[in-house]
Amino acid sequence: MRAPDWLTQRPVAHRGLHDISRGVVENMPGAVQAAIAGNFAIEVDIQLTADGEAMVHHDDALGRLADGSGLLLKKTAAELRAVTFKDTPERMMSLTDLCAMVAGRAPLVIEVKSHFKGDRKLVARMAEVLASYDGPAVGMSFDPDQVLALRELIPSRPRGIVAQRTYDDGHWTKLTQEQRDSMLYLRHGLQTQPHFVAFSVNHLPAPAPWIARNVFGCPLLTWTVRTAEQRAAAAKYADQMIFEGFVP
């Protein structure tokens, strides 16, 4: 399978076309609607709930973006659907809600969030939802095991790996050295067989995404483009940008 042409035809709005100054929070319905209105593709994140639902939210806990507190993994979908985004009346969506809202009007780039514990319930639920969705959609994850799950459970949908040059910053300290090493240089590629790569714009150029793009023909998305300098790097080294903070 080749990555679809539509994957790189439009800039990808990171977590929707959000703008906190206008009361539009990332991953909330208003950010999705704004991206559709702007004719952009839409990147969203999904998290697993206690009852196996896929909810559209970046953080694995409430508090920064949405009202309340506690891990999403410890709450049911019904509890999370009652959660409002901060300073807005809008409520958290499930992946099913998102697909119903978008209805094929914009490409979806769905990042599978992972606790890196080998649990594939989130991808399994994503497979159930996308089985009845006709719109353009791809899945991706930082976790090679989740990308492998996408390959095994949703083989008809293109899949990608989210990556960066190194994993030394504090965000990755929860992982073992073995896990961090397994993510370096896209070395899992022969097993996961991604159709595209989403690579950090601050880490471009880099050998691994260059090889994936120029030798294996994998389109290269780059994240998260916010500045003019990053936009120039994206234009030089990648096929399309995942952007936020401005309107291309």
Q: Please report, as a single letter, which amino acid is at residue 140.
A: M
Given this model, what pLDDT does residue 2 score? 83
CA torsion sign for 105, 106, 107, 112 is: negative
Could you state, in order of their start, the residue ranges of all structural domains in the chain?
A: 5-243
CA separation for the pair 130, 164 (Å, rounded): 28
DSSP-assigned beta bridge partners for residue 241: 222
Partners of 43 in beta bridges: 14, 109
Mean pLDDT confidence for 119-135: 98
- The matching CATH number, chosen from 3.90.950.10, 3.20.20.190, 3.30.70.20, 3.40.50.1370, for 5-243 is 3.20.20.190
Q: First CA to last CA across the chain, in angstroms?
A: 30
**Tens digit of each residue's pLDDT (9 = 90 or more) over 28-76:** 999 999 999 999 999 999 999 999 999 999 999 999 999 999 999 999 9
DSSP code for 35: H
Residue 102: per-residue pLDDT: 98
Residues 200, 27: Cα–Cα separation, whole Å: 20
Contacts of 13 (CB under 8 A, 6+ apart): 31, 34, 35, 38, 40, 41, 42, 43, 242, 243, 244
Tokens of 140: 């991706």
Confidence of residue 1 (pLDDT cuts 50, 70, 90): confident
Please give the average per-residue pLDDT across 148-177, as a whole number: 95
Task: State CA 156 to chain mean position distance.
Answer: 18
169 pLDDT tier (thresholds 50, 70, 90):
confident
What pLDDT is attached to residue 27? 98
The pLDDT, as a whole number, for residue 96 is: 98
